[in-house]
Amino acid sequence: MTITDREQPTYAAGWYVDTTVPGTERWYDGTTWTDRVRPAAPQIQPQSATAAKRRWYKRKALVIPVAVIGGIVVVSGIAGALGGERNNDVAAPRIASQAPVEEAPAVLVDVPNVVGMTGSDAQTTLSALGFRVDFGNGDPTMPVTAQDVAAGEQAEEGSTVQLTLQEKPNLTVAQDSAIRSAKSYLSFMGFSRAGLIEQLTSQYGEGYEAADAEFAVATLEQTGQVVWNEEALQSAQSYLKISGFSRQGLFDQLTSQYGGQFTPEQANYALDGVGL
């Protein structure tokens, strides 16, 4: 095949691809295309030096992890499917039924009589038996006048016993002083009721008005701060420390208007207490 002059290029002599016959090359002598042809040499894509030196495992660095990850995903999917099948076959766990807890039977306790005791003493007595005590805003030094659970009845241990306390009176200065004086005498020695009032009203004693002395003694009685039998016993013990006495002699001393002024019942309680 001949190439016309109009198609002749103007470049250096050499072998060039013959576009008219695919797969061949034609010789160009620098001015004219000749009849010399040859098969075209295979075209090899040039490689960079770095790519040529890269080892096979480096070239496959991305392929291997991708393959591994793909394998993991497949295995995980299979395991999940098998696990799902197993889970569907397993019945829901049964919760063991619990037997109802039996409550311990209530413990019933006899309620004592605390009327007449001070609020503090009543609370101590009832608390020792396992009761709770409530007397509201009452003064614990005042006596108990009522209890909501009668003496002798039974109440559940831990329950609350409501107490009513006597209201604390508004005292005059003289009444308050007489009460404090009476307490002071009783802490010093044993007194009968008559003997204590005499000591409070005597011109050689405190010189209180009879009404104030009576009020002071009555207050101590109501609040449980004096027990006349115990006062008689204390007085008998004091006499025996001073001198020896027969039963009759000590009885006379305790009951005499010039002595202790105790009642016969109080004197006999004291004599029994000292062993006469």
pLDDT tens-digit map of 181-191: 999 999 989 99
Pair 177, 270 in one domain:
yes
Give the confidence band of 2 by pLDDT, cuts at 50, 70, 90.
very low
Give the confidence band of 98 by pLDDT, cuts at 50, 70, 90.
low
Pair 158, 190 in one domain:
no
Q: Is residue 28 part of a domain?
A: yes
Pair 202, 159 in one domain:
no
Mean pLDDT computed over every residue of the chain: 81
Pair 220, 200 in one domain:
yes
The pLDDT value recorded for residue 57 is 45
The pLDDT value recorded for residue 93 is 53
Question: Rounded to 5 degrees, what angle do the CA atoms 118, 183, 234 make?
Answer: 90
Pair 177, 152 in one domain:
no
Pair 189, 127 in one domain:
no
| CB-count exposure of residue 164 (10 Å: 0-12, 13-18, 19+) | middle
Contacting residues for 36 by C-beta, under 8 A, at least 6 apart: 26, 27
pLDDT in tens, 202-241: 988 889 999 999 999 999 998 889 999 999 999 999 999 9
Q: Is residue 16 part of a domain?
A: yes
Q: Is residue 89 part of a domain?
A: no
Q: For 93-97, 120-124, 255-259, 262-266, which range has the lowest pLDDT when averaged over its residues?
A: 93-97
- Give the pLDDT mean for 245-272: 95
Pair 203, 161 in one domain:
no
pLDDT value at 60 more than 50: no
Pair 269, 206 in one domain:
yes
Q: Is residue 74 part of a domain?
A: no
Pair 231, 182 in one domain:
yes
CB 261 within 8 A of CB 192: yes
Q: Largest Cα–Cα distance of the chain, in whole Å?
A: 177
Tokens of 158: 């831990």
If one counts the domains in the chain, the total is 3
Question: What is the number of H-type helices and E-type strands within the chain?
Answer: 10, 8
The pLDDT value recorded for residue 62 is 43
Give the confidence band of 51 by pLDDT, cuts at 50, 70, 90.
very low
- Give the pLDDT mean for 138-159: 91
Q: For 26-30, 67-71, 267-271, which range has the lowest pLDDT when averaged over its residues?
A: 67-71
The pLDDT value recorded for residue 56 is 47
**The domain containing residue 241 runs over which residues?**
173-274
Whether the predicted model's global pTM rises above the 0.85 cut:
no
pLDDT value at 271 more than 90: yes
Give the confidence band of 61 by pLDDT, cuts at 50, 70, 90.
very low
- Give the pLDDT mean for 120-139: 92
Q: What is the CATH number of the domain that holds 124?
A: 3.30.10.20
Pair 181, 158 in one domain:
no
| CB-count exposure of residue 178 (10 Å: 0-12, 13-18, 19+) | buried
Distance CA 249, CA 259 (A): 12
CB 178 within 8 A of CB 215: yes
Contacting residues for 140 by C-beta, under 8 A, at least 6 apart: 118, 119, 120, 123, 165
Give the confidence band of 165 by pLDDT, cuts at 50, 70, 90.
very high
pLDDT value at 70 more than 90: no
The pLDDT value recorded for residue 73 is 47
Pair 177, 264 in one domain:
yes
The pLDDT value recorded for residue 104 is 76
